[in-house]
Structure 1
Amino acid sequence: MPKKKWFLTTGLALLIFIMVVAAKFMDKTHPITELYVFGDSLSDTGMVFRATGGMYPPNPTYYQGRYSNGRVWIEYLAESLHLSSKQTNNFAYGGATTGSVGNSYVPSLLNQVQSFTQTHQKTNSDALYVLWAGANDYLQGVSSATVPVKNLTIAINSLTDVGAKKILVGNLPDLGHLPATRTSTNSVNLSALTQAHNQGLRRSLKILSQQHSDLEIVVLDANTLYRNAMPAAGYAYANPAAFNFTNVTSPCLSGSSICSNPDQFLFWDGIHPTAAAHRIIGETAFSTIQEAGMINPGLIMVP
């Protein structure tokens, strides 16, 4: 074959190959068009507040129904994805457990997902489905990670059954090193339960990925994020200054007293993060789904 013709043939074949790969890549990176959120107080944007007629969490100590002094992480994530409030469907309730433990007036994670799937027999495959729960199970006395992890797995399977393809699941920060727990007699046990939960969750998600070849499922690694900010908890590589935090052990809100510099605190109260910490969690969530290829890597975050 003449050299010129060989170059043309080879070049054409290469071009076709690149176009096929690009088409597959573009197909995989459809923009996320909606958010569906299931969980507890870390993601609640006002469900409990509305259910209690605006009595809890108390305003203005807590910001407009959030369990913090400002917006929570899922709102920062929605902003980064350029999604409006109409494109964000939040079912998270403060106080929610994964299953049947806890307040019967607060729907658990499984209840939240069940109420959604009962009214959505076929759902949006270009939506991102977010699940983050489990902390309340252990804080309310559950002594094994087996059932909470199983509940999360059931919830994810229920969503995949109605067509969910993109799922973000939060693991747990060290529950033994929250301001409300770190000096308690249960601190060591809560830390052990956190570790068991996160290990069990990781195994379950790996199995789910193997069972569903078209499922994109990633972990929001809140545990590592908190560890990176908390040297007082004995974490060797912690650097709170990298997050502009000067206090990562005490709550900004103590009784009726509020600190003067909440943006420099990791915790707003004994359990919940400040809005500054929520922003970092939201940015981490965005980076996580971007690195996983769920969205076009060229998508720019909104300042």
Structure 2
Amino acid sequence: MNFKTTLTGRFVTTGLVVALTTSAAFLFGYAPGAYGAAPAVPHVVSFGDSLSDLGTYATRTEGRSAGRFTTNPGPIWIEVVAQGLGSAITLNRHAGWGKPPQAMGGTAYGEGGARVALQPGSNNTDATKGAGSEQTTLPVRAQISAYLDYSHGQFTPDDTVFVWAGANDLFQHAFFAHSSSDAAGDALVREAARDLVAEVKRIGATGATRIVVLNLYDFGQVPFFIAKPKSVVLSAWTRSFNDELASGLAGTPVLLVDLFSLMHLANADPAHYGLKSASSSACKLDDLPQRAVVFCTDQTLVEKDANLNFLYADGLHPTTVGHRIIGEYVLAAMKTAGMR
């Protein structure tokens, strides 16, 4: 595959040429015709964590940024996908950091720190306090339930549903809950993957015929974690989660896109993707309150256009161009699978 990158003003346009189609390095669950017919203008719905968060905690930044976990104000992958499908997607709610939840009316439910099914999520200081905690981290299970409450218990054939979650379950057992052993942590990570399979199947059982799930990229190899003692464990747990996810979704009409392989290639050969760096952060983290990427903007980059040349914003979350690469990869997978 080949990415050709050109600058257009402040943003990047990335043309993706797919040289492989049904390869396991590209997507899982490939079965042309297994998915619902593409509507003229799909209704895009997204569930997940900070990688899919359109600004749930924007009130924390007090107007200094859009409050996304990237190089603000750049679009993230789900917006790239929605636009590529001829649609759009907007934020579901503002919440957290002592503010009462404020409904925004959109269908992007992802919240930074969210786990698949459990609380507390990452940086949620007290799950019982809700809006009084730092991050509310509404789990994906609860996000789906919230959407079903809104939609009278059903998805429709016009819905194209995207799910990307599980990272915070890895982080919880590696850094917060401190599992009693690596084996115990691995078992809990696999349980989270099985929980995600159950939630994806619930989406299908309540009417959705077009479901796209992204697996996890290797968090043990990202700049933020690669030098830490838990990096090897994180890599192993990422593989365990992805294996359990693929096994659980096998034989279902769900498109499982292999982000693990994409990001592995981008980490190993950033120049192939038009990138300058995949080993450092685009944001000046020491200049940001609490080193939090939600405050990162064009004014806090390590160099001009780092949001367009670096893969990672903070060594963990993708930059504007990183999200563009992911979004176009997902669109190409959907095209190969006959979903667009």
Distance (whole Å) between structure 1 residues aligned to residue 316 and residue 169 of structure 2: 14
Which residue number corresponds to residue 50 of structure 2? 41
More helix per residue: 1 or 2?
1
Which residue number corresponds to residue 95 of structure 2? none
Distance (whole Å) between structure 1 residues aligned to residue 57 and residue 144 of structure 2: 17
Distance (whole Å) between structure 2 residues aligned to residue 85 and residue 117 of structure 1: 17
Which residue number corresponds to residue 133 of structure 2? none
Kept after mapping to 1: 8 A contact 2:215/2:260: yes
Matched, 1:275 2:320: yes
Residue 29 of structure 1 deviates from its aligned partner by: 4.1
Q: TM-score, normalised by structure 1?
A: 0.77
Matched, 1:244 2:274: yes
Corresponding letter in the other structure for 1:68: T
Distance (whole Å) between structure 2 residues aligned to residue 223 and residue 84 of structure 1: 26
Residue 246 of structure 1 deviates from its aligned partner by: 1.5
Matched, 1:117 2:148: yes
Distance (whole Å) between structure 2 residues aligned to residue 32 and residue 149 of structure 1: 31
In structure 2, the CA distance between the partners of 1:32 and 1:221, relative to structure 1 (3 Å rule), is farther
Distance (whole Å) between structure 1 residues aligned to residue 220 and residue 137 of structure 2: 24
Which of the pair has more CA radius of gyration?
Answer: 1
Task: Map Cα deviations across residues 84-137 of structure 1 (whole Å, 9 max, x no partner).
Answer: 347961111011111214232221011101111233322221211110000111
Percent identity between the two aligned chains? 28
Which residue number corresponds to residue 219 of structure 2? 175
Matched, 1:95 2:108: no
What SS does the aligned partner of 1:266 have? strand
Distance (whole Å) between structure 2 residues aligned to residue 276 and residue 88 of structure 1: 24
Kept after mapping to 1: 8 A contact 2:51/2:69: yes
Greater relative contact order, per chain length (Cα 8 Å cut-off, separation 6+): 2
Task: Map Cα deviations across residues 34-85 of structure 1 (whole Å, 9 max, x no partner).
Answer: 1110000111101222xxxx214x754xx51211111100011111111034
Corresponding letter in the other structure for 1:294: M
Which residue number corresponds to residue 137 of structure 1? 169
Task: Map Cα deviations across residues 183-204 of structure 1 (whole Å, 9 max, x no partner).
Answer: 0000000000011111111111
Which residue number corresponds to residue 256 of structure 2? 219
Matched, 1:184 2:228: yes
Aligned length: 251
Which residue number corresponds to residue 23 of structure 2? none
Distance (whole Å) between structure 2 residues aligned to residue 179 and residue 191 of structure 1: 13
What SS does the aligned partner of 1:42 have? helix
Corresponding letter in the other structure for 1:227: H
Kept after mapping to 1: 8 A contact 2:223/2:280: yes
Which residue number corresponds to residue 85 of structure 2? 81
Residue 180 of structure 1 deviates from its aligned partner by: 1.4
Kept after mapping to 2: 8 A contact 1:252/1:269: yes
Extract unaligned runs of 5+ from structure 1.
Answer: 1-23, 210-214, 232-238, 296-303
Residue 220 of structure 1 deviates from its aligned partner by: 2.3
Kept after mapping to 1: 8 A contact 2:81/2:328: yes
- Equivalent of 2:66 in 36, 61, 64: 64
Kept after mapping to 2: 8 A contact 1:175/1:194: yes
Distance (whole Å) between structure 2 residues aligned to residue 32 and residue 151 of structure 1: 31
What SS does the aligned partner of 1:242 have? helix
Matched, 1:197 2:197: no
- 1:6-17 map, 5 Å: none
Corresponding letter in the other structure for 1:92: G
Distance (whole Å) between structure 2 residues aligned to residue 203 and residue 95 of structure 1: 25
What SS does the aligned partner of 1:230 have? helix
Distance (whole Å) between structure 1 residues aligned to residue 37 and residue 146 of structure 2: 29
In structure 2, the CA distance between the partners of 1:124 and 1:181, relative to structure 1 (3 Å rule), is same
Corresponding letter in the other structure for 1:82: G
Q: TM-score, normalised by structure 2?
A: 0.69
Corresponding letter in the other structure for 2:68: R
Distance (whole Å) between structure 2 residues aligned to residue 128 and residue 122 of structure 1: 13
Corresponding letter in the other structure for 2:203: L
